[in-house]
Amino acid sequence: MKKHLVIFAVLCLTVLEVVAQLPRERSNDRQVVEELFWAPSVIILPSVTQIPKGNVNFSIQHVFGNVSSGISELFGLDASANIRFGLDYGISDQLSVGLGRSRFDKVVDAGFKWNVLQQSEAFPLYASAIGNIAFDTRENGYSTSDRQSYFVGLLLARKVSESLSIQLSPSWAHFNLARDLQVFGGGIESEKNDLFGLGMSGRYALSDQVSLMAEWIPMLGGRSDGSHDVVSVGANLETGGHVFQVFLSTSQWITPQYAMSRTRDSFSDGEVSFGFTVHRVFGIQ
Amino acid sequence: MKSILFALSCLLISVTCSAQSFLTKDGSVEFLSRVPLHSFSGESSSLNGRVSLEEGTVDFYIDLETLKTGIGKRDKDMRKVLETKEFPFAEFVGTLDPAFELQPGDSKPVRVSGVFSMHGIDRSIEVEGSLVYVEAGLELEAAWTIRLEDYDIEPPRLLIMKVDQEQKISIRATLLPE
């Protein structure tokens, strides 16, 4: 009798286990660390932040004239501004392509960003490959080849804490045509065909809506005559759907290879321009 | 010998007990949110659940990080608002009122009383839906409305507009025999 009771108890426990509440199991969908940066670009350089699959990011970038021009030029706002319109599309959650058009030199650029590795509990950082090809579309008699320039880079980024993200961007820029420019005073300044830079970027979140960002692209090896490193500082404002970026930058050029080659303002001399970017994401699926 | 027969009898009883139990791991959930002049929905096809007709119990849960609204940025914001790292699941555990049996081909409107839990808050609710016993198993549809404030969730803002407090939730699943 005792034996029967034991068997009955064991089987009852088995049945109870069958009918108990389902064990709660996490989906593996979202192990990836997100929101290292709030927009697909830091300021001039792209960030590892990707456009999700089936989404379109529309961006409007403005960089005005030099702030040091003073009140008579309304601190650069009266000057000729560089403007870029950009559209980026997420082919997958790891791969996006983009198209843009800048006012300066009427540059049209097409590029891609591929997040090869993503930060997660299993891996400590993001590694993304980026590249673009740009065309100078002015009517200036240049050959098709001379109009072309390229930018290739690797983005290595890590979200160090909920507030702080950092990114290192070894980059290569190539211009098929290196121009020699006559400058005031009679000298000649030469641009480089190939430029190498090591972009360093950071973002520090002050709240869920506001973060600060900084970017520096020191050149490795030679640089175009008269050019300076790109240095930019700014702030992000996240409004749920839009990301507004306001910044001060030594570069009026927005396409990275042009910024690396043609930034003529020096941060240490206080030569910076005011700019802003608006990002808006749309779902089209 | 007697013991073996007794054990087999008990096992048969337990098998019979689970004969009207059904499971899903890929049911769908949809929610509808409204902001002034605009609405958006989110969905997931990772609804896990179990319905036992003989026990009259219902148990469903979803990992909130599987919800997608079609815009990645909005998904990230939603996960932030729902604090999914700390509270990953929305779940409903309830009882069919009253318990009943279904035969293949039967369909029946049902009312389930239970507890819906989200964001660390438990609330008693009643849900109405329907069950259809089809060849593959049990087809379930149900819908209800929650208020975000009941679950201590601050409605997110889209620019200056706040997402409405009321969220319509609907679930649909084909549960297979356990």
Question: What is the Cα–Cα distance from B166 to B163, expressed in whole angstroms?
Answer: 9
Name residue B120's amino acid.
G
**Pick from B56, B128, B64, B121: which is nearest to B94 by CA?**
B56
Question: What is the Cα–Cα distance from A27 to B62, expressed in whole angstroms?
Answer: 9
**CA-based nearest distance A271→chain B, Å:** 34
Residue entry with tokens 């591929």:
A114
Question: What is the Cα–Cα distance from B19 to B1, expressed in whole angstroms?
Answer: 27
Give me the mean pLDDT over the A42-67 stretch. 94
Question: What is the Cα–Cα distance from B18 to B176, expressed in whole angstroms?
Answer: 12
The partner residue sitting opposite B73, judged by closest CB among A21, A54, A241, is A241
Instruction: Write out the residues of chain B at the interface with chain A, using a CB-CB cutoff of 8 A.
Output: 3, 6-7, 10-11, 13-14, 17-18, 21, 46, 48-50, 52, 55, 57, 59, 61, 63, 65-66, 69-77, 79-80, 88-89, 91, 93, 156-159, 178
Complete DSSP assignment for chain B = -HHHHHHHHHHHHHHHHGGGEEEEEEEEEEEEEEETTEEEEEEEEEEEEEEETTTTEEEEEEEGGG-B-S-HHHHHHHHHHHTTTT--EEEEEEEESS-----TT-EEEEEEEEEEEETTEEEEEEEEEEEEE-SSSEEEEEEEEEEGGGGT-PPPEETTEEPPSEEEEEEEEEEEE-
> Does A169 reside within a domain?
yes
> Does B55 reside within a domain?
yes
Question: What is the Cα–Cα distance from A132 to A153, expressed in whole angstroms?
Answer: 9
Cβ-based burial of A225 (10 A; exposed 0-12, middle 13-18, buried ≥19) = middle
3-class state of residue A93 by DSSP: coil
Per-residue pLDDT of chain B (178 residues), as tens digits, is 565 555 555 444 444 444 689 999 999 999 998 877 778 889 999 999 999 998 899 999 999 999 998 888 888 888 888 999 899 999 999 998 777 888 889 999 999 999 999 999 999 999 999 999 999 999 999 999 999 999 999 887 665 667 888 999 999 999 999 8
The partner residue sitting opposite A21, judged by closest CB among B70, B77, B93, is B93
Write the pLDDT tens digit of every residue in A105-158.
999 999 999 999 999 988 999 999 999 999 999 998 899 999 999 999 999 999
> What would the two tokens of residue A194 be?
């190939």
3-class state of residue A44 by DSSP: coil
> Does A24 reside within a domain?
no
CATH value at residue A234: 2.40.160.40
Buried/exposed B2-41: b ≥16 CB within 10 Å, e otherwise: eeeeeeeebeeebeeebebbbbbeebbbbbbbbbeeeebe
Instruction: Look at chain B and report how many structural domains it folds into.
Output: 1
To the nearest whole number, what is the mean pLDDT of chain A?
A: 90
> Cβ of A19 under 8 Å from any chain B Cβ?
yes
Residues of chain B with Cβ-Cβ distance to A52 below 8 Å are: 71-73, 75
Question: What is the Cα–Cα distance from B140 to B124, expressed in whole angstroms?
Answer: 20
> Does B97 reside within a domain?
yes
> What pLDDT shows up at residue A121?
86
Cβ-based burial of A256 (10 A; exposed 0-12, middle 13-18, buried ≥19) = buried
Domain of A205, in residue numbers: 31-283
> Does A7 reside within a domain?
no
- Return the H-helix or E-strand segment holding A5: helix A2-19
> Does A25 reside within a domain?
no
Cβ–Cβ < 8 Å for A60, A87: no
CATH value at residue B94: 2.40.128.110
Instruction: Look at chain A and report how many structural domains it folds into.
Output: 1
Question: Using 50, 70 and 90 to split pLDDT, how confident is the model at A242?
Answer: confident
Instruction: Say whether pLDDT at A216 is over 70.
Output: yes
Name residue B35's amino acid.
V
Cβ–Cβ < 8 Å for B86, B64: no
> What pLDDT shows up at residue A149?
97
> Cβ of A25 under 8 Å from any chain B Cβ?
yes
Domain of B55, in residue numbers: 20-177
